[in-house]
């Protein structure tokens, strides 16, 4: 039982665990708190969306539909492992479930089979909707499963919970089947192993094997030009693409300076996508393959 994390603490916990976070506009105040309490919180529920496509899935989870207004979760986990934060507070994701399950989650004991829908889960659980059709055939990429593991572990670590505080929607109520396609017992074992270590965290400019971002910067390996020109990004164009994909804080103003914040964002992007132009673990230079991928993710072409 715990007080819900505030937005800043939630973002920090996720990023400390190495999660690629994108903060959607307005997510910090998007909730259903007017309909009931949010907290104390006791655990995390994992769902599948029964949808395809990132934009469409995020839109549904943000806005909901006529019978069920949004937000329908706190975060949407894309197939590439990106976690889009869309809500903060009470969300319409868990619905009513079994009070015996809630008591087992609180005690971090073995879960009983759900058979009563007598308890409001929206009060007590964080919720992540994972983009998947839920037909048992739509694949779960390793990057997506890794993000589920990391996001769940981040919240558990922040609240000093064990992996027993993470459940699937179908373990909360007998009216649901999600998530379909992987076993929650296996996911809990992964989370348990992660919690035994320290947060892996994002690439840091203070890392001893990285050197100083400002002093060890290697210039981009191709000439700069005008963004969003696909062939040659300017510093401002690169920063805009990084903001669009969640790698650069939108509050940082655009600049012609390829400074430490931009370098750190590029290094994180390179690390996540296993792109390297310098041969170093901390690589702040955007290469041809990196820019092609970043441009496609930011602009869709």
Confidence check: pLDDT of 204 > 90: no
For residue 274, give its domain range.
205-301
Q: Please give the structure tokens belonging to residue 271.
A: 């690390």
Above pLDDT 90, what percent of the chain? 64
pLDDT score for 34: 97
Q: In whole angstroms, what is the distance from residue 162 CA to residue 56 CA?
A: 33
3-state secondary structure of 140: coil
pLDDT at residue 259, rounded to an integer: 77
State the CATH number of the domain containing residue 218. Answer: 1.10.101.10
Q: Is the pLDDT of residue 258 over 80?
A: no
Helix, strand, coil % (nearest 5) of the chain? 35, 10, 50
The larger pLDDT score, comparing residue 69 to residue 285, is at 69
Would you tell me how many other CB atoms lie within 10 Å of the CB of residue 162?
12
Is 222 among the domain residues? yes
Alpha-carbon distance of 127 to 172, in angstroms, equals 12
Q: Count other Cβ atoms within 10 Å, centred on residue 298.
A: 20
Per-residue pLDDT for 274 more than 80? Answer: no
> Do you know the residue count of the chain?
301
Which residue did the predictor score with more confidence, 283 or 79? 79
291 falls within a domain = yes
Whether 1 is in a domain gets the answer no
Domain check: are 43 and 168 in the same one? yes
In angstroms, the CA 168 to CA 180 distance is 9
Residue where one domain finishes, among candidates 137, 160, 195: 195
Q: Which two tokens stand for residue 114?
A: 């759900």
Residue 200 lies in a domain: no
Taking residues 260-275, what's their average pLDDT? 82
Rounded-to-integer distance, Cα 85 and Cα 96, Å: 23
Report the 10 Å Cβ neighbour count for 255.
12
Using CA atoms, how far residue 191 sits from 23, 145, 165, in Å, is: 24, 11, 10
Which of helix, strand or coil describes residue 128?
Answer: strand
Identify whether residues 68 and 183 lie together within a single domain: yes
Query: Domain count of the chain?
Result: 2
> What pLDDT sits at residue 280?
65
Average pLDDT, the chain: 86
Question: Do residues 159 and 217 share a domain?
Answer: no
- 288-299 helix and 260-272 helix, angle to the nearest 10 degrees: 90
Q: What is the pTM of this model?
A: 0.70
Q: What is the mean pLDDT of residues 252-274?
A: 80
CA distance 301 to 296: 5
**7-16 and 142-159 helices, crossing angle to 10°:** 120
């Amino acid at each position: 039982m715990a007080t819900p994390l505030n937005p800043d603490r939630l973002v920090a916990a996720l990023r400390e665990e190495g999660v690629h976070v994108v903060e959607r506009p307005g997510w910090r105040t998007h909730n259903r708190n007017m309909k009931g309490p949010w907290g104390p919180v006791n655990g995390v529920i994992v769902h599948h969306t029964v949808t395809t496509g990132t934009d469409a899935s995020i839109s549904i989870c943000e806005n909901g539909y006529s019978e069920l207004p949004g937000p329908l979760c706190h975060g949407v986990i894309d197939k590439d492992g990106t976690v889009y934060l869309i809500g903060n507070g009470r969300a319409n994701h868990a619905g009513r479930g079994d009070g015996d399950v809630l008591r087992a989650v609180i005690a971090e004991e073995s879960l009983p089979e759900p058979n009563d829908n007598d308890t409001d889960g929206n009060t007590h659980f964080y919720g992540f909707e994972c983009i998947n059709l839920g037909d048992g055939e739509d694949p779960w990429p390793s990057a997506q499963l890794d993000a589920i593991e990391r996001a769940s572990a981040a919240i558990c670590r922040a609240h000093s919970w064990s992996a027993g505080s993470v459940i699937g929607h179908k373990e909360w109520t007998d009216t649901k089947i999600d998530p379909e396609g992987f076993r929650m017992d296996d996911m809990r074992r992964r989370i348990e192993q992660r919690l035994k270590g320290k947060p892996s965290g994002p690439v840091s400019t203070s890392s001893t094997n990285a050197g100083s971002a400002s002093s060890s910067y290697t210039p981009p390996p191709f000439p700069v030009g005008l963004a969003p020109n696909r062939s040659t990004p300017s510093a401002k164009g690169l920063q805009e693409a990084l903001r669009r994909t969640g790698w650069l804080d939108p509050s940082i103003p655009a600049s012609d300076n390829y400074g430490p914040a931009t370098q750190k964002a590029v290094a994180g992007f390179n690390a996540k996508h296993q792109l390297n132009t310098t041969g170093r673990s901390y690589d702040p230079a955007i290469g041809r393959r990196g820019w092609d991928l970043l441009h496609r993710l930011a602009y869709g072409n």
